[in-house]
Amino acid sequence: MKAALAVNKATGDVGANLTAMEALAHEAADAGAELVLFPEAAVTGLINNDDPAHDLPLGQPIPGPATERLGQLARRRSIHLATGILEREGDCLYDSAVLLGPAGRILLKYRRINPQWHGSKADPAVYRQGSSVGSADTPWGEVAIVICGDLFDHAVASQVRALRVDYLLFPFSRNFNDGSFDQDRWDREEAAAYAAAGTLHKCTTLMVNLIEDPDEFEYASFGGAMVVSAEGEILASRPLGVPGILLTDV
């Protein structure tokens, strides 16, 4: 399977984000990608601040206009496309992700289980989590999704292992507290830890990190992507701070 891990620079403008994502997806499809994976909250940006008046308008319904637009793209290019998106359901928000098939339909929706996408004092009636991991059948085998802090959660990993998936899609949004895009620090302190966490799931893991503008976000996510084998070997990677795609055969 040829996969493209697509690192888009997200802003608070959903329309601009979707346009940038479409350009990357077309680039990936032109290069032969069968699956295009975008980061956590790639559609909306992860700019929630625990104020429902600010955050609820950021959320997108699933299905809704954003997933319909991406579904049309998946159908037009005959690809699978997965992305993170802040989901709104009524007056509730979820940190979610979807996998769209080449017919343009949603094959899988996942809601992040780990609650650290919002503050500890955020209203639990508004800021919600999922509770279960599902999978979807694809031409390359069973696929599941987990998001960001879920990767390190042993209970979540147990659910993934029980599904016996072939591939785990892992959109995330990671930043350093000083706001830097420090490749040496990532290589020295974190890449191996993420690869080791991937082994908990007993499958190949595709990891792609959101990138944000440090002039717009105080703690901007720094991008990057990597593919990790079931044994924890980093098979391919993309450097931090650079929008674009990591194209890989897995």
Confidence check: pLDDT of 1 > 80: yes
Tell me phi and psi for residue 82, to 5 degrees.
-125, 145
* 3-state percent helix, strand, coil for the chain, nearest multiple of 5: 30, 30, 40
Which of 88, 91, 90 minimizes the C-alpha distance to 111? 88
Which pLDDT value is given to residue 69? 98
Which pLDDT value is given to residue 17? 96
Domain positions in the chain: 2-249
Give the tens place of pLDDT for each residue, 56-113.
Answer: 999 999 999 999 999 999 999 999 999 999 999 999 999 999 999 999 999 999 999 9
Strand partners, 221: none
Give the tens place of pLDDT for each residue, 111-164.
Answer: 999 999 999 999 999 999 999 999 999 999 999 999 999 999 999 999 999 999
Helix (H) or strand (E) holding 207: strand 204-209
Strand partners, 137: 142
Confidence check: pLDDT of 179 > 90: no
Which of 67, 145, 55 minimizes the C-alpha distance to 94? 55
Alpha carbons 123 and 56: distance in angstroms, whole number: 12
207, 221 Cβ separation under 8 angstroms: no
State the sign of the Cα–Cα–Cα–Cα dihedral 101, 83, 115, 193. positive
Using DSSP's 3-state secondary structure scheme, residue 66 falls into helix
Tell me phi and psi for residue 129, to 5 degrees.
-125, 160
Distance separating the N- and C-terminal Cα atoms of the chain: 5
Domain 2-249 is found in CATH 3.60.110.10: yes
What predicted TM-score, i.e. pTM, was given to this entire model?
A: 0.97
Q: What are the Cα distances from residue 44, in Å, to 67, 84, 96?
A: 12, 8, 11
Which pLDDT value is given to residue 80? 99
Give the tens place of pLDDT for each residue, 5-48.
Answer: 999 999 889 999 999 999 999 999 999 999 999 999 999 999 89
Least confidently predicted of 128-132, 193-197, 219-223: 219-223
pLDDT confidence tier of residue 217, bands split at 50, 70 and 90: confident
